[in-house]
Amino acid sequence: MSSENSFAENLVNLALRKGADEAEVYIKSSKNLSIEIKDQKIDALESSLSFGFSMRIIKERRLGFCYSTDKDSFESVVDKAVEAARWVDKDEYLELPAPSDSDSVEIFDAKISSIFEEEAIEKVSILEKTAYEEDERVKNIRKSRGTFRNTDITIINSKGVDKKYASTTCTTQITVIAENGLDSQMGFYFAGSRFLNEVPFEDVGQNAARRALQLLGSRRMNAQKAYVILDNLVAIEFMGIFASSLSSENVQKRKSLLSGKLDKKVISQKINVIDNGLLPGKLGSRPVDDEGVPSRENTLITEGVLCGFLYNTYTAKKEGVLSTGNAVRGGFSGLPSVGISNLYIEAVSMADAMSPKEIFRAVDKCLYVTEAMGIHAANPISGEFSIGVSGLWIEKGEIAYPVKEAVISGNILSFFENIEVVGNDLRFFGNMGSPTILFGPTDISA
């Protein structure tokens, strides 16, 4: 038995002796290395170790919680959690999960876990180098950053859950500024994986530069109704507007635009929306959620029809269903809420899916959106949005000119109902993924 398991079991037993009916210990430790490069020199380097644990108890249907970063304070943590339960209302839906078998998932890479600072610095330096080499009009790099993380999670509760796993993460991002005379444009790109060799540092630098360069000389377009193509990154941002509505927690609080729409068609029949915590190498993958419930694949929307929501143990009991393995915590200091693992869009029929170039040629004229601004201001409850976009005006499959200061407004469900073609180029950014998507004629103001 590891020292973390032994420590957690002792805490659980102590909590039960002090009057808890159910008890859970969550432990998280991590090793982090973060590097920022400027002009091929280290601009910032941070290496850290972190550790923390929390105690969640249920006593007479009341919840108690406490956390600490000091193992020696374990008895105080237990006492405070038990004491806290005295001062809250009873809740009949409080319950800790029972144990069940979980699948293994590939989320650990020894190359990340054991990486030396020198190698990590060299990797991050490639971002800036390849961005500058892309074109002489790339004049400045605002941020070139890479992070390398090793994390250990232990979850033990009094009902028999005993889960421990290790994971690694590597992420990289860069913001590039390109200039041409008086015109200046910005380009951003990101990549991340559980595996070092799946993070394409060269491509990230090049893609950020290209996204900035292609917008040089942008001009305003005439207001009109036209086809719209969202690239992967922007499609993910739009999907984020209604992602929170897939949470059972928000549905139960009446904060979801999908409330009351179960088993109804809500978006285009050309797409499925899936949440899957078992995809190898993806940043949202893990064998169990943050309560120790096994991760799984959850199909939420099938051919445009809403067929389910995401649950943790608490929200599942409220509706008399099973948890979908979607309990998430912001860290050891937070209680479990409901969140996504790896949420993504896929084409219902891959036979009908097209490459981006084929999508460009599928319509005579369209706006290809590569950047969106103000998505955070969209209303996640009503789904209403008004978003500034930039991109490229496409005619007969070729770039006619770059576009700036256009605006797309509407309702996110109506917008996603208007999907005509889904790409075959599914790509993840963080724990959300999407292919390129073509939308039917859309009102664009300028």
Question: Residue 3's pLDDT is what?
Answer: 85
Is a pLDDT exceeding 90 seen at residue 143?
A: no
Do 267 and 135 lie in one domain? The reply is no
- Mean pLDDT computed over 420-445: 96
- Mean pLDDT computed over 173-198: 96
Domain assignment present for residue 141? The answer is yes
Is a pLDDT exceeding 80 seen at residue 2?
A: no
Do 250 and 369 lie in one domain? The reply is yes
How many domains in the chain?
2
| Mean pLDDT computed over every residue of the chain | 96
402: CB partners within 8 A, 6+ apart:
214, 215, 216, 217, 218, 219, 390, 391, 392, 393
297: CB partners within 8 A, 6+ apart:
274, 275, 276, 277, 278
CB-based contact 372:235 (threshold 8 Å): no
Domain end call among 187, 213, 239: 213
Question: Residue 375's pLDDT is what?
Answer: 87
Domain end call among 213, 234, 265: 213
Do 242 and 178 lie in one domain? The reply is no
Which band of pLDDT confidence, cut at 50, 70 and 90, is reported for residue 206?
very high
Do 138 and 235 lie in one domain? The reply is no
Is a pLDDT exceeding 90 seen at residue 129?
A: yes
Domain assignment present for residue 218? The answer is no
Question: Residue 378's pLDDT is what?
Answer: 86
Do 419 and 303 lie in one domain? The reply is yes
Which band of pLDDT confidence, cut at 50, 70 and 90, is reported for residue 242?
confident
Is a pLDDT exceeding 70 seen at residue 88?
A: yes
Do 95 and 146 lie in one domain? The reply is yes
Do 308 and 193 lie in one domain? The reply is no
Question: Residue 62's pLDDT is what?
Answer: 98
Is a pLDDT exceeding 60 seen at residue 1?
A: no
Domain end call among 213, 238, 271: 213
Domain assignment present for residue 46? The answer is yes
Domain assignment present for residue 219? The answer is no
Is a pLDDT exceeding 70 seen at residue 117?
A: yes
Question: Residue 377's pLDDT is what?
Answer: 85
- Mean pLDDT computed over 204-220: 97
pTM of the complete model: 0.96
Range of the domain at 58: 3-213
CATH number of the domain within which 105 lies: 3.30.2290.10
Q: Of 438, 436, 444, 379, which is closest to residue 405 (Cα–Cα)?
A: 444
- Mean pLDDT computed over 245-272: 96
pLDDT one-digit tens code per residue, 26-71: 999 999 999 999 999 999 999 999 999 999 999 999 999 999 999 9
Do 150 and 35 lie in one domain? The reply is yes
Between the two ends of the chain, the Cα-to-Cα distance in Å is: 64
pLDDT one-digit tens code per residue, 281-336: 999 999 999 999 999 999 999 999 999 999 999 999 999 999 999 999 999 999 99
Q: Could you tell me if residue 382 is left (phi over 0), alpha (psi between -120 and 50 degrees) or otherwise beta?
A: alpha
CB-based contact 23:11 (threshold 8 Å): yes
Domain assignment present for residue 266? The answer is yes
Is a pLDDT exceeding 60 seen at residue 241?
A: yes
**Torsion 177-117-192-155 (CA) sign:** negative
CB-based contact 65:54 (threshold 8 Å): yes
Alpha carbons 129 and 352: distance in angstroms, whole number:
39
Question: Residue 339's pLDDT is what?
Answer: 97
CB-based contact 37:125 (threshold 8 Å): yes
Sheet bearing 62-68, strands edge to edge? 62-68, 41-59, 22-38, 138-157, 162-180, 183-193
CB-based contact 329:335 (threshold 8 Å): yes
